[in-house]
């Protein structure tokens, strides 16, 4: 059953929320030991919330849009009194004193969070292998990664543990795992979904967004979590989420651009696999068959996204992660002086990838190098914004593959950070520009693993991505 079907059945009293939750908890208990999608299953809390929903239904009181729908929450979203680890040792034992706004909104909508899902430590990674609690595995083939960093949430939705999931996307962490796991994942426009209570990775890039097994559920989830939040200073005022309203609109007359540099064109990014490009081409043909006006388009600066991102993101991360000092949160390893205590805590608490990025970011920001590295990356970012603005004068949406390849084997890329970073080459541009983008499953690769196609739109045109995704889903 889809999330919307479950909610309708719970609201009408046809199904009890407690039964629904129990059924999903049973699945998790049976299968998650082999997948490791969850850092923590909050079974008791979920049962209590489901029982309260059932009581409200019996009493004829209103229940929310997602009444009784099980939800996976990425473990970098603050949950009051419930451990929030970011899959890092450094947050060991920490329990946030407040809920993230998305967590609150979804609870008010009746969604039942069944637990906190695994991620790459502090959301740094593309495979969920950089987790202090062991890797998550891909439900379609457990020898492969689910993608990352929201790999736990993606696996939860793909395995049928929960119809809905919440992730965060700084450089592709919703869309890339969605593609690898064969589910829908969407990164909203920067500022559309509140980040209050999201543990910060790179503050100028981070966005929270929806995961679901189908486009209609993802659109409904987006409509619930989007909208102004006074608790987030970067939150856009007056944004009206309308994703569900446009799902039937079709693409007749819509102008669709295929980004040459990110879709196998000459002079574009290397390493895009033939099977992924073939599915992308088929997706574009399906849009044309549905009436879209399709053309190839060049966005020259899109090839520079990866380089700019790996300066901006570590720079911001090195600053954000300075707060883990052994005093305020979680882990403390004692030392003779405060400085020694902080060093010992950070040495023991952070994993290799986190340390690598703190060093890269500190270096990129250091006196004497700041203009050459960080400053230059900001210029590239501005150039990309201008390039995309120009392209969106002629196109309503753009299409690319979500990822260069299908899901790879566990361990295949952990020894070489660069081969890991290349996973995000198609997703990063939308983070640097702050634009919305969705990944929708479109067939499988030569290895039988899911392929995702990405639809990009200009800022605040989030609904447009769902509209196109609905047509692609029907064609796939």
Q: State the catalytic residues.
A: 74, 149, 173
Q: What angle do CA 253, 259, 264 make, to 5 degrees?
A: 130
Does 172 contact ligand GLN by CB under 6 A?
Answer: yes
Q: How far apart are alpha carbons 262 and 300 in whole angstroms?
A: 10
In angstroms, the CA 50 to CA 43 distance is: 10
Among 124, 286, 308, 311, which residue interacts with ligand GLN (rule: CB under 6 A)? 124
CA nearest to 126, candidates 73, 85, 170, 89:
170
Which helix (H) or strand (E) segment holds residue 365: the answer is: helix 352-365
Closer residue to ligand GLN in complex, CB, 126/156: 126
C-alpha 194/C-alpha 208 separation (Å) is: 7
State the minimum distance, in angstroms, from the CB of residue 366 to ligand GLN: 21
By CB under 6 A, residue 313 contacts ligand GLN:
yes
- Residue whose C-beta lies closest to ligand GLN: 173
Non-local (6+) Cβ contacts of 322 within 8 A are none
Question: Could you tell me which stretch among 167-175, 248-256, 295-303, 391-399 binds ligand GLN (CB under 6 A)?
Answer: 167-175
Q: Where does 171-218 show beta strands of DSSP type E?
A: 184-187, 207-212
To ligand GLN, the closest distance from the beta carbon of 75 in angstroms equals 13
Among positions 184-213, residues that touch ligand GLN (CB under 6 A) are 201
Rounded Cα gap, residues 118 and 412, in angstroms: 19
| The one segment of 9-17, 168-176, 217-225, 283-291 that binds ligand GLN by CB under 6 A | 168-176
Contact between 162 and ligand GLN per CB under 6 A: no
217 binds ligand GLN per the rule CB under 6 A: no
Is position 149 an interface residue for ligand GLN (rule: CB under 6 A)? yes
Is the CB of 117 or the CB of 126 nearer to ligand GLN? 126
Shortest separation between residue 175's beta carbon and ligand GLN, angstroms:
9
Rg of the chain (C-alpha set): 21
* CB count in 10 Å sphere of residue 298: 15
Select the span of 165-173, 256-264, 374-382, 465-473 touching ligand GLN (CB under 6 A): 165-173
Of 173, 189, 320, 400, the one binding ligand GLN (CB under 6 A) is 173
The answer to whether residue 171 forms part of the interface with ligand GLN (CB under 6 A) is: yes
Least Cα distance to 417 among 357, 362, 348, 350 occurs for 357
Total residues contacting ligand GLN (rule CB under 6 A)? Answer: 13
Q: Which is nearer to ligand GLN, 262 or 297 (CB)?
A: 262
DSSP state, residue 243 = T
Give yes or no for residue 165 binding ligand GLN (CB under 6 A).
no
Name residue 226's beta-bridge partners: 193
Phi, psi values for residue 140, rounded to 5°: -75, -25
Instruction: Choose between 180 and 442: whose C-beta lies nearer to ligand GLN.
Output: 180
* Interaction between residue 179 and ligand GLN (CB under 6 A): no
Give the single-character DSSP code of 374: I
Contact 384, 435 (CB under 8 A): no
Spatial strand order in the sheet of 38-41: 38-41, 112-117, 70-74, 164-169, 207-212, 184-187, 437-444, 450-456, 397-401, 255-259, 293-297
Provide, rounded to whole angstroms, the least separation between the CB of residue 339 and ligand GLN. 29
Residue selected from 424, 434, 452, 473 as contacting ligand GLN according to rule CB under 6 A: 424
Residues in touch with ligand GLN (CB under 6 A): 123-126, 149, 169-173, 201, 313, 424
């Amino acid at each position: 059953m889809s999330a919307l079907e479950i909610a309708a059945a719970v609201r009408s009293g046809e199904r009890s929320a407690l039964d629904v939750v129990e059924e999903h908890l049973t699945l998790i208990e049976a299968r998650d030991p082999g997948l490791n999608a969850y850092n923590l299953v909050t079974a008791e809390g979920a049962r209590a919330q489901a029982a309260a929903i059932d009581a409200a239904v019996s009493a004829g009181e209103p229940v929310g849009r997602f009444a009784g729908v099980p939800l996976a929450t990425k473990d970098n979203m603050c949950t009051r009194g419930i451990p929030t680890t970011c899959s890092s040792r450094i947050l060991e034992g920490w329990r946030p004193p407040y809920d993230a706004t998305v967590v609150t909104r979804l609870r008010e909508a009746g969604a039942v969070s069944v637990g906190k899902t695994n991620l790459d430590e502090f959301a740094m990674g593309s495979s969920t292998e950089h987790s202090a609690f062991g890797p998550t595995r891909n439900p379609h083939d457990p020898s492969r990664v689910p993608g990352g960093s929201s790999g736990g949430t993606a696996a939860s939705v793909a395995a049928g543990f929960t119809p809905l999931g919440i992730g965060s996307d700084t450089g592709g962490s919703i869309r890339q795992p969605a593609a690898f796991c064969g589910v829908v994942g969407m990164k909203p426009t920067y500022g559309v979904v509140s980040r209050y209570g999201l543990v910060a990775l790179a503050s100028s890039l981070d966005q929270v967004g929806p995961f679901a097994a189908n486009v209609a559920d993802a659109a409904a989830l987006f409509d619930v979590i989007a909208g102004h939040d006074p608790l987030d200073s970067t939150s856009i005022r007056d944004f009206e989420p309308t994703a569900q309203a446009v799902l039937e609109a079709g693409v007749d007359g819509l102008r669709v651009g295929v980004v040459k540099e990110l879709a196998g064109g000459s002079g574009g990014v290397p390493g895009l696999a033939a099977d992924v490009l073939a599915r992308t081409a088929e997706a574009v043909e399906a849009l044309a068959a549905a009436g879209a006006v399709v053309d190839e388009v060049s966005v020259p600066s899109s090839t520079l996204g990866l380089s700019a991102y790996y300066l901006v993101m570590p720079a911001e991360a090195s600053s954000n992660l300075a707060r883990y000092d052994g005093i305020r949160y979680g882990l403390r390893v004692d030392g003779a002086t405060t400085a020694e205590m902080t060093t010992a805590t950070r040495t023991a608490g952070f994993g290799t990838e986190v340390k690598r990025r703190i060093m890269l970011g500190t270096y990129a920001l250091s006196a004497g190098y700041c203009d050459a590295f960080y400053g230059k990356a900001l210029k590239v970012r501005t150039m990309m914004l201008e390039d995309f603005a120009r392209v969106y004068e002629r196109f309503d949406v753009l299409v690319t593959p979500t990822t260069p390849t299908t899901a790879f084997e566990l361990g295949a890329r952990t020894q070489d950070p660069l081969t890991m970073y290349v996973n995000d080459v198609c997703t990063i541009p939308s983070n640097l520009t702050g634009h919305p983008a969705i990944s929708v499953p479109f067939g499988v690769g030569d290895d039988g693993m899911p392929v995702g196609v990405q639809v990009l739109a200009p800022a605040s045109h989030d609904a447009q991505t769902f509209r196109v995704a609905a047509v692609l889903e029907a064609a796939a």
